[in-house]
Amino acid sequence: MNTEHWLQEGPQTKITPAIREFAARIPGTPVPEDIQEFAPELVLAYQTAEAIRTLAQVENDKTLLAKIFRRRTADEIVRSFIYGTCSDYAVTFRALMVAQGVPTSYVEAISVGMLKNNLWFTHAENQVYTQEGPVVFSPWYRTHHRHNGASLDDLDYVPIKEGLDSHDVGIYNWMDRKPFVEKHKEEIKRKLAQLRSPTSDQPK
C-alpha cells in the first residue's frame, strides 16, 4: 500500500515551525501499559492524542463556535487552543502525526446512531497507516478500531470521505456539513448496505 500521499500537507495541515515544535515534545508522553503493546505508530497516536488534550479549552460560546468551526488551521490551533469539537482534534492530530513521519489521513464520517433515526450528523476522525495496516483513530474519544470485518452494530461511525483535512474534503464551516452529506448520500447508502451484509469486508 502506497501511503506517501498521507504524508502531504493539506490546506489546514501545513507543517509549520509551531507544529514541529509541538510534535517534538510528544514522544515519551505517558500512556497506559496496555497501549504500549500496540504497533509503534498506534502508540504514537495515543501519545499525540494525549498531548493534544493540553490544548483543550471547554467553551459554550455559540458565537465563537460559529466563527471558528472548521475554519482554523492546525498551526492556529496549537498556538492558541482547541475548541471542543472533533474537527479541531482531527485536524491538529493529523498535522502532528505527519510531522512525526506517520502517514495519517483526515476522515469525515457519519454517525450510525443518527442514521438509524434518519438524522444526518458528521464526525471527524483519522486513519493512521501502521505497518500492520490502516487503523481508524479518534483523537477526540482517544479510541481506535479497524473497519475490516466490522458489522453495522460494531461501529459508531461510517467513513464517508478521506482527505488531508476538513477543507480538503470540502467542509469549510458549520453550514457545509448538510450539503456534504447530500452530495455523498449514495456513497453512504452503499457503505451502509455493505456493513449490513454478513459477508461484507470479510477476508477472502
pLDDT at residue 56 in the model: 80
State the CATH architecture for 4-196.
Roll (3.10)
Identify the helix (H) or strand (E) that includes residue 187: helix 185-196
pLDDT at residue 152 in the model: 42
pLDDT at residue 120 in the model: 65
Per the prediction, the chain carries an average pLDDT of 85
Strands 82-83 and 104-111: unpaired
* pLDDT tens-digit readout, 130-174: 998 899 999 988 888 765 444 444 457 788 899 999 999 999 998
Dump the DSSP string for 105-147.
Answer: EEEEEEEHHHHHTT---EEEEEEEEETTEEEEEETTTTEEE--
The amino acid at residue 181 is V
* pLDDT tens-digit readout, 38-65: 999 999 999 999 999 888 876 678 888 8
* pLDDT tens-digit readout, 99-139: 999 999 999 988 776 666 666 678 899 999 999 889 999 99
Residue 75 has pLDDT above 90, yes or no: yes
